Structure 1
Amino acid sequence: MAALALGAASPLSFAQHGGLGLVTPPVRLDDAWLVDQTGRKRQLNDLLQRRITALQTVYTGCGTVCPLQGALFNAVQQRIAGMRAGRPVQLLSVGIDPLSDSPSALRAWLARFEAGPAWNAATPSLEDVDRMRLALSGSKAPLGDLADHSTQVYCFDANAMLRWRSADLPRVNDICDVLGALART
């Protein structure tokens, strides 16, 4: 049933993109060290374990699409607060510019969008950024510069498995539907 819900989330939004929607088979990203908004060093898969997670990549110094992504997660946060699901749900903003996305910049990002306790931010090391971005996208194509980064949202199950990739700047309802389906499984 969850697979049907995951596959049914706004199929029209995937029509112009390949490799979006349900990730079959699910994928575990290689582990990487990240520094969160408190300055604590944590492993990616530890952050993803035991919770259903919607992950976005952001650049805290971005003035174009990243503020839209922050507003998107703020809206998702409001919707999931009332979600009665079996597993806890979290949001994770991953800063993709380790030279600028410091713990204080991540804290400011979260504050700017009124992040609650279920929304965290973290940044991988410089050597792990591109590897992580490629793994999330599922593409072998070379990455563009930071200004061209993806505005997709990636949903993980409670076993830290990537289960769904959205289109760029997805709808709030699509993200919440996928999170709800994953939380029920």
Structure 2
Amino acid sequence: MSKSDRGRAPCRSLAILALVLGAAGTPCRAHDQSKAGAGVPLPPLARSAGLYRPAPAPIVLTRADGKRTLLEDELAFDGPVVLNFVFTTCSTVCPIASRTLSEVPARLRRGEHVRMMSISLDPLNDTPAALRAYAAKFGAGPEWRFYTGSVDASAAAQRAFDLFRGDKMNHAAVTLVRPAGGRSWVRLEGFPSADQLVAELRGK
């Protein structure tokens, strides 16, 4: 299966799943395959080494609070990082992944800090205001940052993580984790649970 086909498959197959779960607006336990709904199983989770290649030129992004920033500066956080790509009108992959990310902070121990990053695949429509509304929908706290920017900036960010598929509808269900201690990135293809994400963030 080509990378392009691999990216399209989740969007097609999860359209039914999103309807079953009501993922666009109601809480769901998308990672619990036994409760995925109506016999529609989630794809198996694949874990591999994540690829990150800094772009030749700085990637300028705009956060949901309107502040312009550089991807490199945001990644310079001295703790663990979890990152994905979403767009606010997505009704399949993104709501499921975002619901899981929303569950991560409650699972952290006292004193644990994490940076959660969601970068828009649809910067033409995902204005800072749209991202703020999306963040509020999932109860995002200050540790979870949302970013938009130019079309070129979004594409460059996707390429830096080997996730560029050319079209927002072709995006794959991928979450990237850089564990504590500045270790290499981990690539999770599929739908990890919040507990799995926390374990990865701790480097376990």
Tell me the TM-score normalised to structure 2 length.
0.68
Q: Deviations over 1:35-80 (max 9, x none)?
A: 0011110001111112321011001111222111210111122213
Distance 1:161 1:124, change over 3 A: farther
Q: Which residue of 1 aligns with 2:149?
A: 124
CA pair 158-100 structure 1, distance change in 2 beyond 3 A = farther
Equivalence for 1:70: 98
Q: Which residue is equivalent to 1:95?
A: 120
Letter in 1 for 2:87: Y
Deviation at 1:112, TM superposition (A): 0.2
Q: Which has the higher contact order (CA 8 A, sep 6+)?
A: 1
* Residue of structure 1 in register with 2:129 after alignment: 104
Q: Find 2:72's aligned residue among 39, 45, 52.
A: 45
User: Is the alpha carbon distance of 1:157 and 1:151 closer, same or farther for their aligned partners in structure 2, counting shifts above 3 Å?
Assistant: same
TM-score by length of 1: 0.74
C-alpha distance in 2, partners of 1:147/1:44? 23
Checking the alignment, whether the CA contact within 8 Å between 1:32 and 1:124 is kept in structure 2 is no
Task: Give how far 1:111 is off.
Answer: 0.2
Q: Shift of the alpha carbon at 1:174?
A: 2.0
Superposed CA RMSD: 2.5
Aligned to 1:4: none
Q: Is the 8 A contact 2:79 2:180 kept in 1?
A: yes
Unaligned runs of 5+ in 1: 1-11, 15-19
Task: Give identity over the alignment, percent.
Answer: 27
The answer to whether the Cα contact below 8 Å between 2:179 and 2:202 also exists between their aligned partners in 1 is no
TM-fit CA distance, 1:157: 5.2
Deviation sequence 1:91-121 (CA, Å, 0-9, x none): 1111111101110011011100001111110
User: 3-state SS of the aligned residue for 2:198?
Assistant: helix
Q: 1:177 to 1:159 in 2, by over 3 A?
A: closer
Is residue 92–residue 120 contact of structure 1 (8 Å, CA) maintained in 2?
yes
Q: Who wins on radius of gyration, i.e. which is larger? A: 2
The structure with the greater share of residues assigned to strand is 1
Change (3 A) 1:83 1:93: farther
| Matched ranges for 1:14-33 at <5 A | 14=46, 20-23=47-50, 27-30=52-55, 31-33=58-60
Can you give the 5+ residue segments of structure 2 that lack an aligned partner in the other structure? 1-43
Deviation per residue, 1:16-37 (Å, 9 max, x gap):
xxxx4234xx734324110001
* Helix, strand or coil at the partner of 1:108: helix
Deviating beyond 6 angstroms after TM superposition, the runs of 4 or more aligned structure 1 residues are: 158-161
User: Quick check: 2:104–2:194 contact (8 Å CA) kept in 1?
Assistant: yes
